[in-house]
Amino acid sequence: MSEVIKRLTIADINDIKNKVNNICIKIEQLLKQHRDLLEPLHKYDIIQLKYDCQRSPHNKESWDRKLNSICWDYLQKTCNIQDYMLCTDYDKFMDQIHDTRDLPEFNLTNVTCWLNGLKKNIYESAKKLIQTVYDKAINSTYWTGNKQRKKRNNAGIDKHFIITTYDYCRIFNYYYKPTFTDDFEKACYLIDNKKYPDTPKNIMSIAKYEKKTELSNNYFELKIYKNGNTHFNIINNEILKKLNMLGNGKLSIGENIKIKIL
C-alpha cells in the first residue's frame, strides 16, 4: 500500500517561507554580533573561522580550540614578543600556538601564570638574539671572487663586513625563511629601544616587495649580491659599539635596554 503524502497548501508554503525568513534575519544578527566581537582580536568572521577549522591538519579543529589559538595569538602580539626573539625561535613559538592540540586553555589563571614568567623569558630571548647575531657576524663565511669560502677573521663586528646570507634568493625567488639580515635589523632596533617595524616596513620586506638590492635604514646599509653575499655597512656608531659590548659580554642587556611587556 503506497504511502499517502500530504500536499502542502499555499498557506503552508507561505508559513514555511516566513519562518525561514525570520530565522535568516536572526542568523544575520548573530553573524554581525560574532564579527563585532572577534574584530578586535583577529578580524575574523564566522565563515572564515569555520573554513579554518575544516582545513586544519589536525582532524578538523573544534571552534573552541581555534578561538583559544586566536586569543593566545592576540596576546603575544600585544606583548610584542616577535621584537625580542630570533626569527627562527619566533616561528617555532607561533607553530605551538597554531597547533591547538596541546595549547593551554586561554583563561585568567593560565594567562596570569604565563605573563608572570614572560618578562624573564623575553630577557633571555633578547640576550640570545643579540648573542646569536654577534656570533654569526664574526664567525660566518662569505664567497670570494674565485668561488672559495672565506671566514671572517676578527675579534668583533666591523663597521663594514660581508657574510653569506642568500638574501638575493629571498628577494627574487620563492624563499620566505628569515635570514641573518632580519635578526641583525631586529637586534639593532632592540638595542636602540625602538619598536621593530612590522612587515612590510622592515628592511628585507622592502627589499622583497620593491625588488631592491641596495637599501638602508637608520642603522646600516645593505648591498645584496647574486652569489649569496650581503655587504653590511653600519652607519650608526653607537649601535655598533653596543652590539660588540653586548655580544662579547662586556655589557649586560638589562643595563641599557628597557623591555615593556604590556
User: Which tens digit of pLDDT belongs to each residue from 44-101?
Assistant: 666 666 666 665 655 455 777 778 888 888 888 888 888 889 998 999 889 888 887 7
What pTM was computed for the model? 0.78
For CA atoms 246, 243, 159, 204, the dihedral sign is: positive
The SS3 of residue 133 is helix
Average pLDDT over residues 173-190: 89
pLDDT, one tens digit per residue, over 189-242 is 999 988 898 878 899 999 999 999 999 999 999 999 999 999 999 999 999 999
Is the pLDDT at 165 greater than 90, yes or no? yes
The percent of residues above 90 in pLDDT, for the chain, comes to 35
Q: What is the CA radius of gyration of the chain?
A: 26
CA dist 37 to 27, 34, 46, 68, Å? 15, 5, 11, 14
Is the pLDDT at 115 greater than 90, yes or no? no
- The whole-number pLDDT of residue 45 equals 60
The pLDDT confidence band at residue 182, using thresholds 50, 70 and 90, is: very high
**Mean pLDDT, all residues of the chain:** 84
Q: What is the 3-state secondary structure (H, E, C) of 59-80?
A: CCCCHHHHHHHHHHHHHHHHCC
The pLDDT confidence band at residue 184, using thresholds 50, 70 and 90, is: very high
| Residue whose C-alpha is closest to residue 177's, from 188, 186, 166, 187 | 166
> Contact, 185 vs 203, CB < 8 A?
yes
